[in-house]
């Protein structure tokens, strides 16, 4: 690994932020400019992500602004996920946010309907870019205090996106979202500040290290007293865990992810919670491999096993498709967090490496599959004029063949079935749990996968296949427009592609997992 | 160097304003108590600034964000949604008792086990120790307010108390932190509060109340 001075990380954060600023006035002046600028911003960051990923594969670490921003393999992985999913969501949002029945919800009670809709849409596109900027900032910042600031900024940027429809349900979701995440993240702030303050006296400044930089903090971590370090770790787990949807801090997640407009749901479930788990892995990683913190790693695995099981069970009870997907996200975050915990239980051994590799692999796979699923349910909402309950939808497979295929591919991928991508990441996680001799975690992980399979396939069956004849007779439902099918199809195709050729991600996942698991 | 008597007196009055902000059933009065608390925090930070000139900037940041903007936002929205707080989960008498018990418990515990939180030896002694225990007490009271109140505006006031406590605790925890970081933290709190109040006003518009028990569309 070697540091390379680069302007790319700065551009990555500044471009979408600048887009956010110019989008609002321009989109208010001319409505088509909103989706166009949103697309341009997301395409620009995707283009910037390419050299970062290629560089990280070659062992480069990009740094800028006196190392305030730093992109190593782990950050590059997250940057690629965030940029890619945001591009898919931007492409999808352009037709989706024109849907009349949805816009009617927005301007329902307003006197000036056209003006209200226009203002609301301009806000939507501006905040989408702001949200993108804050997420990219969070995964590239190397400053422990700014990590808190950026994570909280992403909550602020997305709060009004959740409340977009401004009706009873979405306002309730937004209220819980803002309140719970702000309280939760206040704990993370304590963690960040305590870590910074307790590391400063021990940081070897004559070697050019600084106490505020995440990459320099491990040099001082060993000198922090154990009691204080445990408090800091607990603050990080509660703080970033709340944002990542780890149970029992998850109650905001199903509401927010279900009530937000579908492209926003894809971003929230696809990448925002991944950004939070990244923050958790990064900050916890500062203290490991010290054996003294072994119980904390075990605690993370216990919490994640609880999370996956709870999410899986709640998934079974849902009729609303978006809530079902949201609970499935809670459950899958459990798998990723389990991988992160296993890294330190088996630090320096195969178990740790497999945990890190499987966790990060599942992070990418879940981002792709869950975004595809939310886009597929969005397509159902689009085509049926707002229906999203499994019990009110019947036999859509003939009417919406592309959506049906995408839904099943992504659902089977999340359930961990071969030959899709989720199979490989879950297999890696099972192996990691077995190598660490945590058989209870191994059992819960497999059982939860079965629950997920049943819940998703059952919902898919009801919506797409049951009573096909009845539905055929009285339906004028058509599949969604091409601009919505393309991003959804691409995400589903990636699920298949990575499933067939899982080595494709190895060059990036390997250095990222090695960096976390301490194997060089 | 530090005026311990002054710091202790200000701290005591500040804890009382927290109780007043949580317990007052009139939202306007609760917001005023909150504003008073923010001013006391400025005073406290100034008392600490004798030994650390950067803290003058911190006091100014607290004055603008917590002493002026946040109370203005609160009063602005309270004027729109009504002064009377929606019924609390716990009655007035028991709630005051509970808050007092919580106050004493959290102060005693954090003052006693200060080494769990103090990042440096200095922070575990004298006025810094008092400051840390006071901050944690206000944090606990804010959390109590968030958990025990049904009124959405009151919950936001609880959140404001919690954030005040964080701001104050930084004086003991990270006095060497740069102003830019502190301004970042304080600004975000104000924006979050503004957004929450906007959403609460929307809720009031849609369902005619700020009682969070009426927010029952989404449970499972």
When scoring B117, B164, B167, B218 by the number of chain A Cβ atoms within 10 A, the one with the most, hence best to mutate, is: B218
Q: What is the mean pLDDT of each run of 10 residues along chain A (520 residues)?
A: 88 95 92 92 96 93 91 94 96 88 69 81 95 96 93 94 90 93 92 88 81 85 86 93 92 92 94 95 84 84 95 92 94 95 85 92 96 95 87 85 94 93 95 93 95 93 79 69 93 96 93 76
pLDDT of residue B142: 92
pLDDT of residue A472: 58
Q: What percent of chain B has pLDDT over 70?
A: 98
When scoring A138, A147, A168, A235 by the number of chain B Cβ atoms within 10 A, the one with the most, hence best to mutate, is: A168
Q: Do A145 and B181 touch (CB under 8 A)?
A: yes
Q: Could you tell me the two tokens for A484?
A: 């919505």
Compare CB distances from A193 to B116, B162, B170 and report the shortest one's residue: B170
Beta bridge partners of A389: A320
Q: Do A168 and B184 touch (CB under 8 A)?
A: no
Closest residue in B to A223 (Cα) is B119
Compare CB distances from B159 to A152, A169, A179 and report the shortest one's residue: A179
Q: What is the pLDDT of residues B53-111, one digit of tens each?
A: 888 888 999 999 999 999 999 999 998 887 787 777 777 888 888 888 888 888 888 88
Find out whether A125 and A42 touch, Cβ atoms under 8 Å. Answer: no
Direct distance between the N- and C-terminal alpha carbons of chain B, in angstroms, rounded to an integer:
56
* Complex-level ipTM: 0.92
- The span from the CA of A381 to the CA of A4, in Å, is 47
Shortest Cα–Cα distance, A455 to chain B (Å):
15
- Answer whether 0.90 is exceeded by the pTM: yes
Q: Do B117 and A145 touch (CB under 8 A)?
A: no
Report B:139-168 residues touching A (Cβ under 8 A): 143, 146, 152, 155-156, 159, 162-163, 166
Shortest Cα–Cα distance, A230 to chain B (Å):
9
Closest residue in B to A256 (Cα) is B218
Residue A128 dihedral angles phi and psi, to the nearest 5°: -60, -45
Q: Which helix (H) or strand (E) holds A5?
A: strand A2-5
Q: Could you tell me the two tokens for B160?
A: 């404001």
Q: Do A175 and B174 touch (CB under 8 A)?
A: no
SS (H, E, C) A254-305: HHHHHHCCHHHHHHHHHHHHHHHHHHHHHHHHCCCCCHHHHHHHHHHHHHHH
Report A:401-440 residues touching B (Cβ under 8 A): none
- B218 to chain A, any CB pair closer than 8 A? The answer is yes
Q: What is the pairing mode between strands A69-71 and A60-64?
A: antiparallel
The alpha carbon dihedral of A496, A499, A502, A508 has a sign of positive
Q: Could you tell me the two tokens for A481?
A: 């427009």
Beta carbons within 10 angstroms of residue A257's beta carbon: 31
Beta bridge partners of B151: B211
Shortest Cα–Cα distance, A177 to chain B (Å):
10
**Within chain B, which residues score under 70 in pLDDT?**
217-220
Q: Which residues of B touch A212 (CB under 8 A)?
A: 181
Closest C-alpha to B34, from B12, B56, B55, B16 = B16
Beta carbons within 10 angstroms of residue A476's beta carbon: 6
Shortest Cα–Cα distance, B139 to chain A (Å):
10
Report B:168-197 residues touching A (Cβ under 8 A): 169-170, 173-174, 176-177, 181, 184-185, 188, 191-192, 195-196
Q: Which residues of B touch A220 (CB under 8 A)?
A: none
- The span from the CA of B102 to the CA of A385, in Å, is 52
- B207 to chain A, any CB pair closer than 8 A? The answer is yes
Helix (H/G/I), strand (E/B), else coil: A92: helix
Q: Do B192 and A193 touch (CB under 8 A)?
A: no
Find out whether A327 and A254 touch, Cβ atoms under 8 Å. Answer: yes
Closest C-alpha to B134, from B64, B55, B45 = B45
- A353 to chain B, any CB pair closer than 8 A? The answer is no
Kindly give, in sequence order, each residue whose CB lies less than 8 Å from that of residue B23, ignoring residues fewer than 6 positions away.
B92, B95, B96, B99
Shortest Cα–Cα distance, B112 to chain A (Å):
14
Q: Distances in Å between the alpha carbon of B23 and those of A510, B81, B94, B154?
A: 55, 19, 11, 10
When scoring A144, A145, A187, A318 by the number of chain B Cβ atoms within 10 A, the one with the most, hence best to mutate, is: A145
Kindly give, in sequence order, each residue whose CB lies less than 8 Å from that of residue A179, ignoring residues fewer than 6 positions away.
B146, B155, B156, B159, B196
Q: Do B120 and A198 touch (CB under 8 A)?
A: yes
CA angle B66–B71–B73, rounded 5-degree value: 110
Shortest Cα–Cα distance, B46 to chain A (Å):
21
When scoring A109, A141, A169, A172 by the number of chain B Cβ atoms within 10 A, the one with the most, hence best to mutate, is: A172
Shortest Cα–Cα distance, A173 to chain B (Å):
8
pLDDT of residue A178: 94
């Amino acid at each position: 690994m070697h540091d390379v001075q680069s302007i790319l990380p700065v551009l990555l954060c500044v471009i979408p932020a600048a887009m956010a600023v110019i989008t609002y006035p321009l989109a208010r002046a001319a409505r088509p400019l909103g989706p166009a600028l949103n697309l341009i911003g997301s395409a620009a960051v995707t283009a910037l992500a390419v050299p970062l990923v290629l560089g990280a594969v070659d062992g480069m670490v990009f740094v800028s602004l006196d190392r305030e921003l730093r992109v190593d393999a782990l950050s590059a992985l997250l940057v690629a996920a965030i940029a890619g999913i945001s591009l898919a969501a931007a492409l999808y949002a352009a037709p989706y946010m024109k849907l009349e029945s949805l816009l009617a919800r927005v301007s329902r009670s307003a006197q000036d309907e056209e003006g209200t809709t226009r203002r609301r849409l301009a806000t939507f596109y501006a905040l989408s870019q702001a949200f993108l900027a804050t997420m990219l900032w969070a995964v590239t910042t190397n400053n422990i205090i700014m990590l808190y600031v950026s994570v909280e900024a992403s909550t602020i940027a997305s709060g009004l996106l959740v409340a977009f429809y401004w009706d009873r349900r979405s306002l309730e979701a937004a209220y819980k979202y803002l309140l719970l995440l702000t309280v939760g993240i206040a704990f993370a702030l304590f963690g960040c500040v305590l870590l910074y303050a307790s590391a400063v006296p021990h940081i070897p400044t004559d070697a050019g290290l600084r106490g505020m930089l995440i990459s320099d903090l491990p040099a001082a971590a060993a000198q922090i007293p154990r009691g204080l370090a445990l408090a800091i770790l607990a603050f990080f787990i509660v703080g970033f865990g709340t944002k990542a949807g780890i149970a029992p801090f998850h109650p905001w997640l199903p509401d927010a992810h279900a009530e937000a407009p579908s492209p926003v749901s894809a971003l929230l479930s696809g990448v925002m919670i991944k950004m939070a788990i990244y923050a958790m892995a990064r900050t916890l990683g500062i203290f490991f491999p010290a054996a003294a913190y072994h119980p904390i790693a075990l605690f993370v695995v216990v919490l994640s096993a609880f999370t996956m099981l709870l999410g899986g069970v709640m998934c079974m009870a849902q009729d609303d498709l978006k809530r079902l997907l949201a609970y499935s996200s809670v459950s899958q975050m459990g798998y990723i967090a389990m991988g992160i915990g296993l890294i330190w239980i088996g630090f320096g051994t195969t178990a740790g490496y497999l945990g890190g590799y499987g966790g990060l692999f599942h992070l990418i796979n879940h981002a792709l599959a869950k975004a595809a699923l939310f886009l597929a349910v969005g397509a159902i909402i689009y085509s049926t004029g707002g229906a999203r309950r499994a019990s009110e939808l019947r036999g859509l497979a003939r009417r919406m063949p592309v959506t049906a295929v995408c839904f099943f591919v992504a659902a089977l991928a999340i359930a961990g079935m071969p030959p899709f991508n989720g199979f490989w990441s879950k297999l890696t996680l099972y192996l990691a749990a077995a190598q660490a001799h945590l058989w209870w975690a191994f059992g819960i992980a497999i059982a939860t996968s079965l629950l997920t399979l049943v819940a998703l396939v059952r919902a898919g069956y009801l919506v797409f296949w049951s009573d096909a004849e009845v539905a055929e007779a009285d339906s004028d439902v058509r599949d969604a427009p091409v601009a919505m099918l393309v991003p959804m199809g691409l995400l589903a195709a990636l699920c298949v592609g990575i499933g067939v050729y899982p080595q494709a991600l190895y060059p990036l996942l390997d250095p990222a997992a090695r960096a976390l698991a301490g194997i060089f | 160097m530090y005026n311990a008597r002054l710091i202790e007196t200000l701290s005591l009055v500040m804890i009382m304003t927290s109780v007043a902000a949580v317990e007052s059933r009139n939202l306007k009065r609760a917001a005023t108590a909150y504003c008073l608390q923010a001013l006391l925090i400025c005073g406290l930070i100034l008392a600490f600034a004798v030994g650390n000139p950067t803290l003058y900037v911190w006091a100014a940041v607290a004055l603008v964000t917590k002493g002026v903007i946040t109370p203005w936002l609160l009063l602005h929205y309270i004027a729109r949604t009504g002064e009377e707080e929606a019924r609390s989960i716990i009655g007035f008498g028991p709630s005051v008792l509970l808050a007092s018990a919580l106050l004493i418990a959290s102060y005693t515990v954090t003052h006693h086990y200060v080494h769990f939180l103090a990042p440096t030896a200095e922070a575990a002694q004298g006025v810094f120790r008092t400051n840390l225990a006071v901050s944690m007490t206000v944090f606990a009271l804010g959390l109590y307010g968030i958990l025990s109140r049904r009124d959405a505006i009151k919950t936001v006031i609880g959140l404001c108390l919690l954030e005040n406590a964080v701001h104050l605790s930084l004086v003991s925890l990270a006095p060497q932190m740069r102003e830019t970081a502190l301004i970042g933290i304080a600004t975000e709190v104000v924006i979050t509060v503004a957004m929450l109040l906007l959403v609460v006003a929307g809720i009031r518009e849609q369902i005619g109340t700020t009682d969070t028990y009426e927010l029952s569309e989404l449970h499972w």
